[in-house]
Amino acid sequence: MEHISLDASASPAQARRAFRDGQARPTCGIARGYAQANMISLPKEYAFDFLLFAQRNPKPCPILEVLDAGSYEPKIAPGADIRTDIGRYRIWRDGELADTCDDIRDVWDEHDDLVTFLIGCSFTFEFPLMDAGIPVRHIIAGANVPMYDTSIRCADAGRFSSTMVVSMRGIQPSQVAQAARISGRYPGVHGAPVWVGDPAGIGIGDIAHPDYGDAPVLEPGDIPMFWACGVTPQAAVMASRPPFAITHAPGYMFITDVPDRQYMA
Amino acid sequence: MEHISLDASASPAQARRAFRDGQARPTCGIARGYAQANMISLPKEYAFDFLLFAQRNPKPCPILEVLDAGSYEPKIAPGADIRTDIGRYRIWRDGELADTCDDIRDVWDEHDDLVTFLIGCSFTFEFPLMDAGIPVRHIIAGANVPMYDTSIRCADAGRFSSTMVVSMRGIQPSQVAQAARISGRYPGVHGAPVWVGDPAGIGIGDIAHPDYGDAPVLEPGDIPMFWACGVTPQAAVMASRPPFAITHAPGYMFITDVPDRQYMA
């Protein structure tokens, strides 16, 4: 198996092939210029409630594509296979994490009606932040982004309810406005931050210990900026306990063929 | 019954009360500063397919709110009743127009699971156009906006497929760019036009005879500008023939309590 170097210069197809061939790492910093996506597959019986949940909560759940029931080839990445092309998956049964794996074809075949949702990811605007001279510290450190459960209530929809999950980046005071402005240009991949400053204000007890991803990298004077995060559907699965779900693992995203500019407002 | 003058100065609640009390007229030019909405109610069995249709076709079907099954009080107009507060409704059976009425409480009660979708309307950005000195000719003439079936294919979703319906406004060449720019600021209410110029290019045979609304008012030199229209769901009902649906009549919109600025990108 050829080992592909996964960095900013990888194409989306190269990155997906590397994940299909068994590599697994967080996708921040990979495939400059292309949108990345969160993924959740649910039995069709739950698809309306979840699509409504996403419609009512567009900050954490901006929908990029909804695949037809049973389909695993997204229009936003022709030739890709959603069952193999993500580095790490999570299998959920009755709202409990049942398994982690790098290929879901076996469990996929247990169902004939899974509806897959691809949801925007803030990794998409990290290259534009860096292009503007804003250091993205977890990429520099070669780490996953830190993510946190919060006290922010999402709007309920049918059988789904949840609090919001956020990602955090530490930004210098002189660049906070610029980071808000640049990310705000990309509403389809979470857009502007939902909170800037005191973590306690959104129920985060200890910023040093995130609920998902790696420990934060913060430099002296950094202001923590919090963006709505596409891991929120996983919090909704834990809270609402559908009988079955498959998601990506936080930070291990699906890389699409869509240029990030296409999601600019 | 007090007769309320329905013009730009009417509040949304005043306008809704007037429609509840039996008045009926197109809502262009009414309640300056507030978003207007297209409406469609479908049995819950069709709700996922329709929400997916809207998600895949955000230009004609930008969702403002989806009400819970059976609910008729929108969050975007507290105290309103979606069954009475629109001036004119259309009842659809098997994709055929079965009735037109000004109150749907009777047919509503035939069903216990109707899901109502409120969809953005281009009337919302007509006041901003006028504020920029762009005449909106059908408002000046006291007429409904002209709307047309087109050859533009919408993306299919489950049992729904359709071509796009558009609204048309004639704009002077010196103001075409400004009209595109101003409407483009409001993606939640159809945003920028989908077509500018030759009607034949989108399958419109005779611009003088619209498929919905009133005959167009065009001044010498006007360029026809075409915006995606929230009557598209009615074309989808005709094409896809769900057993039952209720919609507003084209141009007779639901007036919300949401300031139009809230839908600015």
Domain housing A74 = 12-121+240-263
- Do B129 and B73 fall into the same domain? no
Arithmetic mean of pLDDT, B3-15: 87
Residue B1 lies in a domain: no
Measured from the Cβ of residue B245, the count of other Cβ atoms closer than 10 Å reads 26
- Do A48 and A139 fall into the same domain? no
Q: DSSP H helical segments within B34-101, as ranges? A: 47-56
Domain containing residue B207: CATH number: 3.30.2040.10
Residue B208 has pLDDT above 50, yes or no: yes
Give the distance from residue B54's alpha carbon to the nearest chain A alpha carbon, in angstroms: 10
- CB of B55 less than 8 A from some CB of A: yes
CB contact under 8 A, B51 and A56: no
Residues B155/B54, Cβ–Cβ less than 8 Å: no
At B140, phi and psi to the nearest 5? Answer: -60, -35
pLDDT tens for chain A, residues 1 to 265: 455 678 999 999 999 999 999 999 999 999 999 999 999 999 999 999 999 999 999 999 999 999 999 999 999 999 999 999 999 999 999 999 999 999 999 999 999 899 999 999 999 999 999 999 999 999 999 999 999 999 999 999 999 999 999 999 999 999 999 999 999 999 999 999 999 999 999 999 999 999 999 999 999 999 999 999 999 999 999 999 999 999 999 999 999 999 999 998 8
For the four alpha carbons of B146, B152, B157 and B159, in that order, the dihedral sign comes to positive
Question: Which residue among B44, B48, B66 sits closest to A47, beta carbon to beta carbon?
Answer: B48
Residue matched to tokens 């920028």: B192
Give the span between the Cα atoms of A168 and B123, in whole angstroms.
39
- CB of B9 less than 8 A from some CB of A: no
Tell me which residue of B151, B181, B200, B162 sits closest to B57, measured CA to CA. B162
Residue B100 lies in a domain: yes
Tell me which residue of B88, B94, B71, B60 sits closest to B233, measured CA to CA. B60
- Do A79 and A57 fall into the same domain? yes
At B191, phi and psi to the nearest 5? Answer: 65, -145
- CB of A48 less than 8 A from some CB of B: yes
Q: Which residue of B has its CA nearest to A48?
A: B48
pLDDT attached to residue B1: 44
Give the span between the Cα atoms of A228 and A245, in whole angstroms.
21
Residues B164/B194, Cβ–Cβ less than 8 Å: yes
Residue B265 lies in a domain: no
Give the tens place of pLDDT for each residue, B130-160.
999 999 999 999 999 999 999 999 999 999 9
CB contact under 8 A, B63 and A48: no
Residues B174/B134, Cβ–Cβ less than 8 Å: no
Arithmetic mean of pLDDT, B41-61: 98
The SS3 assignment for B159 reads coil
Collect all residues of chain B within an 8 Å Cβ-Cβ radius of residue A47: 48
Question: Which residue among A51, A56, A63 sits closest to B48, beta carbon to beta carbon?
Answer: A51
Residue matched to tokens 């969160």: A38
Collect all residues of chain A within an 8 Å Cβ-Cβ radius of residue B159: none
B3: pLDDT confidence band, cut at 50, 70 and 90?
low
Q: Which residue of B has its CA nearest to A157?
A: B68
At A258, phi and psi to the nearest 5? Answer: -90, 125
Collect all residues of chain A within an 8 Å Cβ-Cβ radius of residue B61: none
Residue B96 lies in a domain: yes
For residue A50 the two structure tokens come to 């979840």
Residues B236/B53, Cβ–Cβ less than 8 Å: yes
- Do B115 and B128 fall into the same domain? no
Give the distance from residue A211's alpha carbon to the nearest chain B alpha carbon, in angstroms: 31
> B195-233 burial, b if ≥16 CB within 10 A, otherwise e?
bbeebeebebeebeebebbbebbbeeebbbbbbbbbbbb
Residue A5 lies in a domain: no
- Do B28 and B57 fall into the same domain? yes
Give the span between the Cα atoms of B15 and A204, in whole angstroms.
45
Query: Which residues 6+ apart lie within 8 Å of B209 measured at CB?
Result: B215
Residues 101-160 of A with CB under 8 A from B: 158
Collect all residues of chain A within an 8 Å Cβ-Cβ radius of residue B52: 51, 66
- Do B88 and B32 fall into the same domain? yes
Measured from the Cβ of residue A93, the count of other Cβ atoms closer than 10 Å reads 14
- Do B129 and B167 fall into the same domain? yes
- Do A100 and A71 fall into the same domain? yes
- Per DSSP, A5 falls in state P
The amino acid at residue A167 is S
Q: Which residue of A has its CA nearest to B63?
A: A55
pLDDT attached to residue A240: 97
- Mean pLDDT, chain B, rounded, equals 96
Pairing of strands B96-101, B89-93: antiparallel
Give the Cα-Cα-Cα angle B203, B205, B209 (nearest 5 degrees).
Answer: 125
- Do B64 and B29 fall into the same domain? yes
CB contact under 8 A, A51 and B55: yes
Give the span between the Cα atoms of B201 and B226, in whole angstroms.
11
Residue B4 lies in a domain: no
- CB of B180 less than 8 A from some CB of A: no
Residue A165 lies in a domain: yes
Quote the number of domains for chain A. 2
- CB of B47 less than 8 A from some CB of A: yes
Give the span between the Cα atoms of B172 and B167, in whole angstroms.
17
- Do B113 and B87 fall into the same domain? yes
CB contact under 8 A, A55 and B63: yes
Residue among A55, A56, A160 with most chain B CBs within 10 A, to mutate: A55
- This model of the complex carries an ipTM of 0.87
Question: Which residue among A48, A158, A265 sits closest to B265, beta carbon to beta carbon?
Answer: A265
- Do A96 and A132 fall into the same domain? no
- CB of A55 less than 8 A from some CB of B: yes
Give the tens place of pLDDT for each residue, B113-132.
999 999 999 999 999 999 99
Arithmetic mean of pLDDT, B10-26: 95
- Do A117 and A189 fall into the same domain? no
- Per DSSP, A156 falls in state P
Collect all residues of chain B within an 8 Å Cβ-Cβ radius of residue A158: 68
Q: Is B102 exposed, middle or buried (0-12, 13-18, 19+ CB in 10 A)?
A: middle
pLDDT attached to residue A3: 58
- Per DSSP, B45 falls in state G
Residue A3 lies in a domain: no
Give the Cα-Cα-Cα angle A239, A215, A26 (nearest 5 degrees).
Answer: 75
For residue B35 the two structure tokens come to 């978003």
Question: Which residue among A66, A158, A187 sits closest to B52, beta carbon to beta carbon?
Answer: A66
pLDDT attached to residue B5: 75
